[in-house]
Structure 1
Amino acid sequence: MGVPQDWAPYTSLDEAARVYLRDPDLALEQLRSVVDFSSITSFIMSRGESDEPWGEAVWQEVVATDGRRLILWRADDDASVTMGSEPRRILDASVRTILLSTITDHILTTEFEILPDGTRRLAEVRLRMYTQLLTRARQKSVVDTDLFCESFRYTKTVDDGGLAQMQRLMQFGRVLSRSA
């Protein structure tokens, strides 16, 4: 697998996917089934690799918004094992849409490094979003229960994505805040 190009300089989802994702045709096909690309107001991308017993595995993610919904495409390499057979590699890809009205909290954090001359340099951007969607509950007592809501977290740093991806994550977080 080659090193992907940076997606951040591209304003078109189609172009960004083609230079960054390993499986751009699949991602674009699945995303087009749920959203008209001309309605996308902002997007971000992430990917990572890991070594698995069966080889190198890649996860890829596109997160977009059309001002109404959060649209998530994710694909993960995995292995499937059935009784008495050899493991086979699979690619598990999904598209999910979540109404922005169900997102109750956006937290866009920017971390700056203060340089010796007193200037600051952007070092990290984090976006956290919490929804009303319950993922689990834990009863603490007869009358007290902890509820856990679904959350989404995205981080870009100088070393993981670089300045352009940090700026795009800030833009994405701001678009979501204005849309909610």
Structure 2
Amino acid sequence: MPAPQDWAPYYGIEDAAKVYLRDPTMALDQLRGVVEFPSIQSFFMSRRVTEESWGEALSQEVVLTDGRRLIMWRADDDLSTSDGQQRQVLNASVRTILLSTITDHILTTEFEILNDGTRRLAEVRLRMYTQLITRSHEKSATDTDFFCESFRYDKSVDNGGLAQMERLLQFGRVLSRSI
């Protein structure tokens, strides 16, 4: 799989997708169906390659906000079995969540302290917790644990580099102002 260019220098989602995603046309078409691109306030992208028993698999993700919603496009290479036949497939989805359902939002920055005492951005972590219940566990007749949907995103020196860390930081700040 060829290495993508960095998306972070591009502030338009279309240009960023074309240089970073393997399937930019699909992503842009599916996103265009739920959001008008001029209304996008901030976005970031990620991708991850894994080795599966059947070969390399790519996961791609675009996360954006228009100030009212969190919109996530995700595509994953997978293996499907139908009629006894295995075939490689691409599962792509768009998910839309109202920002009003986000109950907690944590934007963490980690800085490395260099020998001369200066600080260098080393990692950015964004955590979002919603009130959307994904499962529950009844502990007793009167006590139940509820588990809510959460989203976790990380960028670091080794995972995206400085420009992508700064863009995730920007996204988290835009989200903070919108919640």
Q: TM exceeds 0.5? A: yes
List 4+ stretches of structure 1 deviating above 6 A: none
User: Counterpart amino acid of 1:142?
Assistant: A
Displacement of 1:65 in angstroms is 0.3
- What pairs with 1:115-130 in structure 2 (closer than 5 Å)? 115-130=114-129
* Residue 108 (structure 1) aligns with: 107
* Residue 4 (structure 2) aligns with: 4
Alpha-carbon distance in 2 for matches of 1:175, 1:88: 41
Alpha-carbon distance in 2 for matches of 1:58, 1:77: 6
* Residue 60 (structure 1) aligns with: 60
Deviations 1:22-62 (A, max 9, x none): 00000000000000000000001000111112221100000
* Residue 154 (structure 1) aligns with: 153
User: Counterpart amino acid of 1:37?
Assistant: F
- What pairs with 1:7-26 in structure 2 (closer than 5 Å)? 7-26=7-26
Alpha-carbon distance in 1 for matches of 2:138, 2:96: 30
Deviations 1:125-151 (A, max 9, x none): 000000010000111222111110000
* TM superposition score normalised by structure 1: 0.97
Deviations 1:94-128 (A, max 9, x none): 00100000001110000011111111111000000
Alpha-carbon distance in 2 for matches of 1:141, 1:123: 44
Structure 1: gaps of 5 or more residues: none
- What pairs with 1:93-104 in structure 2 (closer than 5 Å)? 93-104=92-103
| Identical residues among aligned pairs (%) | 73
* TM superposition score normalised by structure 2: 0.98
- What pairs with 1:4-83 in structure 2 (closer than 5 Å)? 4-83=4-83
Question: May I ask how many residue pairs the two structures share in their alignment?
Answer: 179
SS at match of 1:168: helix
User: Counterpart amino acid of 1:167?
Assistant: E
Alpha-carbon distance in 1 for matches of 2:6, 2:70: 22
* Residue 176 (structure 2) aligns with: 177
User: Counterpart amino acid of 1:122?
Assistant: L
Structure 2: gaps of 5 or more residues: none
SS at match of 1:81: strand
Q: Larger deviation: 115-124 or 8-17?
A: 115-124
Displacement of 1:82 in angstroms is 2.5
RMSD: 0.8
